[in-house]
Amino acid sequence: MKRIAVMTSGGDCPGMNAAIRSVVRTALNYEMEVYGIEQGYSGLMEDQFIKLESRSVANMIQRGGTFLRSARAPEFKEEEGQLKAMENLKNQGIEGLIVIGGDGSLAGAKVIHDKYHFPVIGIPGSIDNDIYGTDMSIGVDTALNTILWCIDTINDTASSHDRTFIIEVMGRNCGYLALMSAISGGAEAALIPEVPFKIENIIKKIKERYEEGKTRSVIILAEGVGSAGDFGKTFDMIGGFETRITVLGHIQRGGSPTHFDRILATRMGASAVDSLLNGESGVMTALQERKIELVPLGEVLNNKRKMDKKLLEIAEVLSK
C-alpha cells in the first residue's frame, strides 16, 4: 500500500487534528503518500483531495476542531453519491481510507468496506462518548474538562446568591457527559436519557438541601432529556426556587485538546495506519483497558453503548 487518504466527518471534536497528524507522519514514516479529504463525505464525492506532507500537520496537535473541516453529506446515503466517491478514490490512486468521526461517519465507512470492498479503518471521534466498543472516544476528555470548568465557575456565583442552576450539556441519546461532569463537579443531580426520573423527586431533593443549610444547588441536564429552559420554569413554579439556566452549547466541542485526548488520538492514528498495512479493513480503533484494539464496524454499529450502573450508584450517593 503506497497511497492512503484520511478524512474527518460529522461533528468536530478536540483531538481530530492530533489524529490526522499521527496518520500523516506514521504513513510518511512508511514512505507512503497521504491525502486529506476536505469536508468529509461531501468532499469525497466532490473530489476535494489535498496532498499532506509533514509540514502540513506542523503545530496541529494543540488545535481543536479539524483543519480538514467537516460537513454533513446525506447524499452519500444514496448509491449515486457512493459511486461518485468510489470513482474519486480510484482516480486519485488511493488504496486505503481512514475515517475519523462518530456513528454516522463510521456507518459510511462500513458501506465503503462492505459494499465496495475498499480498505477502510475508522477512528472514533465524538464528545458524547456514545460509540460502542471503545472505553473513550477522541474529544470526550476535553469536553468534560470544559464542562467542569463551567460548573466550577457557576458554583461560585450559585453559592453567593443561594440559587439553583440548571446546566444543559450535550448528549442527545447518551448521558455520559452529564453524569461524569455531575460527579466530578459535585452537582446535586444529573438528568440523563438512560434513566427515568420524576421532576417532583428532584425538587424534593433540592428543598431538603436548602433545609440543611446548603447555599446552592446545581443540576446537570443532558440535552436529550429536554430543554433546560422548560425544566427551569417547572422548578420555579413547583419548587419556588430562584432558578438560573446555562446552556453550554458548542463551547463543549471546541478548545485545545487535553493531554489525554492528544495521546489517545495519536495512538489511534498510528494504529489505523498500521492496521491498513497489515491488511485490516472494516474495523475501528478502540481503547479497551488502556490498549488500542480493533473492533469490527458491524459490531460497533449494531450495539449500543451502555451506561455503567456503578457510576450511577456513585453519583446518587455523592449527591446526598
Enzyme catalytic residues: 128
Q: Is 224 within 8 Å of 173 (Cβ atoms)?
A: yes
CA distance 108 to 77: 8
196: buried, middle or exposed (CB in 10 Å: 19+, 13-18, 0-12)?
Answer: exposed
200 assigned ligand-binding residue: no
On whether 216 is known to bind a ligand per the annotation, the reply is yes
With CA atoms as reference, report the closest residue to 18 among 58, 49, 48: 58
Q: Is 103 annotated as a binding residue?
A: yes
Q: Is 251 marked as binding a ligand?
A: yes
Q: Return the residue matching grid coordinates 453503548.
A: 305
User: Could you tell me if 113 and 282 are in contact, meaning their C-beta atoms sit under 8 angstroms apart?
Assistant: yes
Residue type, 82: Q
Please list, residue by residue across 81-93, b when 16 or more beta carbons sit within 10 angstroms of its beta carbon and e when fewer do.
Answer: bbebbbebbeebe
| Annotated binding residue 223 | yes
**Residue 188, annotated as binding a ligand:** yes
127 assigned to a ligand binding site:
yes
Is 60 annotated in a binding site? The answer is no
* 31 belongs to an annotated ligand binding site: no
Which residues are documented as binding site for ADP? 21-25, 186-188, 214-216
Which residues are documented as binding site for substrate? 126-128, 163, 170-172, 223, 244, 250-253
Which residues are documented as binding site? 11, 21-25, 72-73, 102-105, 126-128, 163, 170-172, 186-188, 214-216, 223, 244, 250-253
